[in-house]
Structures are given as structure tokens and as C-alpha cells.
Structure 1
Amino acid sequence: MNDPLSLMARARASLAVVTAALALCWSVACQAQSAPSSPSLQLCAADLNGSGDAADPGEMAYCSPTVAGPQLCPIQEVACTADAAGQYSCPAGPQFACVTKLAGGIPACSPNQCADIAANPIVDEPPILDPGSPPDGAVDADGNCLGKIEIFAGRGMRCRPPGISTTLSNCCKDKGKIIKDGMGSSLGSIGTKVAVAKGVFQGMSAAYAAFRAGATAGQAASAGANALVVGLDPTSIAISLAVNFMIEFLFSGCDSQDMETAMLRGSGMCHEVGSYCASSFLGVCLQKARGHCCFNTKLGRIIQEQGRPQLKAFNGNLWGTPKKPMCRGFTPEEFQALDFSKMDLSEYYADIEARAQSEIQLDIKDRVDAYLKAVQPQ
């Protein structure tokens, strides 16, 4: 009978030999199979619908590596055809090369060219930087403003429709009238509508942080609601809509200005100036943005829209450009020159009437219950 210690020693020696052999084989294999570096990431884009940009779904794609080296754009990719001699040609035109993907298959071609992202990075425009007119400036002993007075002043903002930078999310989507005109003492000073919009983004951030920390979706929504309503009169915003808005944007590619603009826009407080390109690649637009002038109230937006055409100061340049909206308020002299008899304020009157009717039906208990439901943990 063999000595157990001897058997163990031989087993260890065999294991050492096998380990050394495997290490040698691994070293040899690594040396023999040292592959070239992985191909660089390349991108292609094409305006398929003639809109003047490649910001719509399916108009931008990452390219596929090929056996020959040049990468293949999958946009409008077609299989090449072979003649009697077995020579392949591209149906899109002889100027486009037929290449074979690394995965194999019939050679293919595309009329759209690929470009290296490292050598040709995507160019992104920053959000519109417009803090608006600073409120509550210096006053003298009698309370007279010592600075420049602007009436119904706004702020330049932007939101982005579906595109590469928003992960194809519509960051301009209308989610209903979340912020209300003239509701609650907390909205009494200029600029607070934008502050409320930022409060919703803070609520979303709190919800996202809670979710990443392991909270359930319900718990994350509760955390966001707590951050959202702190310091706000429950009548100043539609809390349920705001929470839904917050949760829907939670995993989108929208940023804080997208959210602010979408909320104010949905509440009827923004004038859209136009669209511009926010992200481009080799001169091809991949992401559009919509520039706006957003105001503290719907009434402010309506008077600005109907008052500016009456004033010579705005002739030929009513709103600036989509990328640089001109959102200043009226000077006292300009405001006095406005002819309100030529303005159609029916949109605002209808909103007041509809809101008054709904408020009659909603008593104080319902308001308090809605507030407590939003702040209490689920």
C-alpha cells in the first residue's frame, strides 16, 4: 500500500508540472495570437427624410468593422451583387466599395461614409446661458428702484426633441399645466416660477439618488416628492403632475434646463423662438434644440407676444435667434405705449374661468390631503 505522504507529494509535483505547462502554453498562445488593436469607434449619419439634419431615429449609427479595414455604415447598407466572373459591385454606385464584415457573409456597401469619433468628435452646443433680469434690485429710502425696471421680463431657455444627446427622449414633451399663474403666496415675487421648475429637477435628483441607493421605485418617488414640495404652497403647483413629470424624466437623457423649459412650456409660459442644431458631426446635425423665451406667468407671455409687434424697438427682431433668444421685459415707457385694446387676452380669461370653477369644487381639506399624501412616505 502506498504511503499517503508519498502519494500527496507526487500529486503536488504533477500539479506543479501541469501548472508550468499551462503557463508555458498560455505564454506561447499569447505570443502567437497577439492580435492588432481593436478598431476605433466610427460614426456615420445621413439625412434620410430631407429635413436638413440627421437628428431623427435611424439617421445616425455606429459603423461595423470589416475584414479589409475600412468600416461599413449600416445606414442604407445593401448587399453587393456578383457578376459572372464573381466580381462584386455596389448597387448604390461603383464609387462605393464592397467590403466583408468580420462576422462574414456577402460583401456589402453603403453610400454613407464612416469617420473616426476620436479624430472628429461630436460638437455639442452648451445650454442657453441666460439668467434673466435679476429681481429685487437696489432701492432708495423711499422704495424706488435704483436699477433698470423691466416689466414681464423672461429668460432664454431651450429643450431638446428626440436625438442622440437625449437618448431619443422627447425633452420638450408637454406634461400638462404643472405651474399655475398667481397661485399661492410663495409665487408672489418675480423669478419664483423658474425656482419652482428648478425645485422639480431637485426632486428628480433626490429620487434618482434614492433609486441608485437601493430604494424601490415607490420609495424613490416618495423621496423625490419630499424634496419637491419643501417650502412650496401646495396650491402653487399641480403636485401629482409634477411627481409624474419627475419620475418620467428620471431615466431619460434630459438635463435640468430641458426639464425647466418643458415644465414652463407645458404650463403655457414660453414662446418658442425656433430650432437650432445642438450637436453635430462633420457638419451634419445629430441633435436639435428649441430655443424659447419663458416668462413668470402665462399672462406675461401673452402680453409679450402681442405687445412686441406694436413697438418700434422690436421691429425686425421680435425674439432674437433660436440659439440666443431676446427675452427682455418692457421698459416702463414701452409698457405705457402698449394698446391693450388691440390685444386678444381670451386665452388668459378662459384659463382664469376654468381654474376658478375647479377651485370651487376643490375645498381646503382636499388641498391639505393632497399635500400630505405627497410628503408622507409610501
Structure 2
Amino acid sequence: PETAEPKGSKTESTKTKAAKMEAAATHEPVAATDSTADLARLRELMAELAEAQGETPLILPSVDRNAVAAVVQDWTGIPTGRMLSSQTEKALKLAATLSERVVGQDHAMEMIARRVQTSRAGLGAPEKPVGVFLLCGPSGVGKTETALALAETLYGGEQNLISINMSEFQEAHTVSTLKGAPPGYVGYGKGGILTEAVRRKPYAVILLDEVEKAHPDVHEIFFQVFDKGMMDDSEGRRIDFKNTLILLTSNVGSQVIMDRTKNGTLRTGMDDLDTALRGPLLKVFPAAFLGRVVTIPYYPLSDAMIEAITRHQFDKIARRLKATNDAELVIGDGVMDMVKARCTEIESGGRMIDAILTNTLLPELSRGVLNRSLEGKKMTKVIVGASSTGFTYSFE
């Protein structure tokens, strides 16, 4: 016959198991096991589990504010960074933060920052968007980069940028593409590309690129957005734009700006430039439209600005090379001068830098990296130099 287990022993065993389970749940392996061997094995398993889960475990041991914020972000589209970080501090440092990324346009960053600070302080018109800006100037001087930087800084990432190429809306009937097709027409029920995007991402930067190319009827549908912060889509739903920051870009007045700047600096007063820009802008946009936006001129880039942008681009490449190949990128003498010498078209601005690096340097550098990988050779450093025939590469 089986020997009956003492009543006290069973109670003690149950309590011990419960204590061990509680200790394991609270990550206290010392209390959860009795023997040294079991303790070592438990710690080894916990280390393997932590490595497998990484920074985003499937099951959280506890629900903290970050977990709650992540769930709310998935439900509402409100960026986690907006809920968790100090928006006051971000607003106060916004101009300096943007200037680190957008080179040579400090005056523009300051104008945008002032409007955002007014909104953050609760002193702006609550029924309007955070800000509506018309960025005028030559191509490649940082207008699109400004939108990307604002999305990253204010809304938690570049994925919260809604970009629309307005050159696709040169006909009056294309208004329906933005708001959605009316009842009875093909596409009804699918939503407009603008209204649907904002409905899904109410906290975002909206970039309306090359807005001067859109039909005047398209310009007019934005009056209600600029004034009341809303737009009705084709299904009668009211889309809220109050938490968006709207940027419109245009090349209108580029020659006026270039005539009044030298080496990236304004040679005349800002008032004189604003007056000179008014004429070209009125030929494209009605006065009612211009009265609803803040016009910001963007200056052409100087050689020093081009060099700063080039260094910024090389820093990006260096980070990618470090992340993918654990190798250091060294830029030798003469490389910057070669890039500046090839940027001969002032109208292209920073886009010329990107074209040089993307079409010339990166393919040649990539070929060398792949050859080293194929040969099984360890690579710790890549040195980029310059010669009379082009870029040179040395792998160590």
C-alpha cells in the first residue's frame, strides 16, 4: 500500500512550488530553484530567451507606459513619441534641430519653429492646422528635406509624411482624386488620396509638391482646410486637419530669389524680397490663396553649404557601411573638392550631390565591398580618395 504523505508536507510542497513560480515570474532565479546546477541552467535559458526576443519581446513581463502607448499608437495613429516625450522641449529646440538636417536655410527653420511654438503653447487658432507654409525657391535647396525633418521631429518618423505630387492635378476634374469620386462615378467608396491618408494619419506632415502646377480649382478646395482645418470627402465624412502641418512647395519666384542672394546669403532686406516675390506669385496663385499661407523663400546653396550637405550624405553612407559590414568609412583629401566641382548647375542644388553619390560613388564602392565578401576577406576600413580620373577606393 502507498504511504500517505503527511498533511503538513503536502502543504509545504504546494507553498514551495507557488513561491518558485512567483520568483520565476519576477526574474528571481535564486529563489526559484534550490540547486546550483538548476540555477545555472535557469540563468542560461533566461539569457537565451532574452537574446531571442531582442528589444521587442512577444510577451511583456509587465505592462508599462511604453506598452500602453504602443497599443494606442496602433489604434489611433498618434505617434508614440508624441505621447511620451516632452513636446515643450522639442518645440523650443525645433529651429536648431531642423537646421542640423536642412543646411543653409536657418531663416526658414526659424519661421516654421515660431509658428509651431505658437501652436504648442495653445495660442494659435484652434480650428486651423498647426501651420500652412508655401516654400518658394530653386530645386534641391532643402524644401522636401524640411518636410522629412518635421515629420521625424514632430510626428515620430518619416512614415508620417503624406506627400502628394500636385503636377498630377492639372485638370479641374482631378479634384475628385483628392476628395474621392462622387456617388455614381467609378471609384466611389474608395476615398480620396488626400482625405483617406489624413483620416488614417491625423497627426502628419502634408507635403503638396509643385503646387503651382495644379489647376486653380484644386487650389480652391484647400481654402476650407487652411481656414477651418477640415475637408469633407465624397462620402460626407468630415476629415480633421487640425493636427497636421501643411507644406506647399513651388519654384515660382526662383529667379527673383537668386538675383537677391549671393553665396547663400540674402543681399537685400527680407521685406524687399517679399515685395519682389509678390508679383510672380500673384501670376500663379490668387490673392485669397496667398493670404492663407506663410510664404518662405529658400536661398540657393553656397559652396560651403554644398560641402556640409556632402559631409552629411557621407555620414549616412558611413553608418550604413558600419551596420552592414562593420567597417569604417574614411573620406580622403580632395573628395569634397571633387564633389563641389561636379555640382556645376546651381539650379539643381543638393540633388546634384545625391546624383553624384548614387550614380558614381556608391556603385563603385558596392562593387569593391561585394568582391571582398566573395573572396572571404575581412574588411575593417574603406578609404575613399580622389584622382584626376575620379574616385579611388582602398580596402583594408
Say yes or no: TM over 0.5. Answer: no
The higher relative CO (CA closer than 8 Å, separation ≥ 6) is in 1
**What TM-score results when the alignment is normalised by the length of structure 2?**
0.21
Q: Which one has the largest radius of gyration?
A: 1
- Which of the pair is proportionally richer in helix? 2
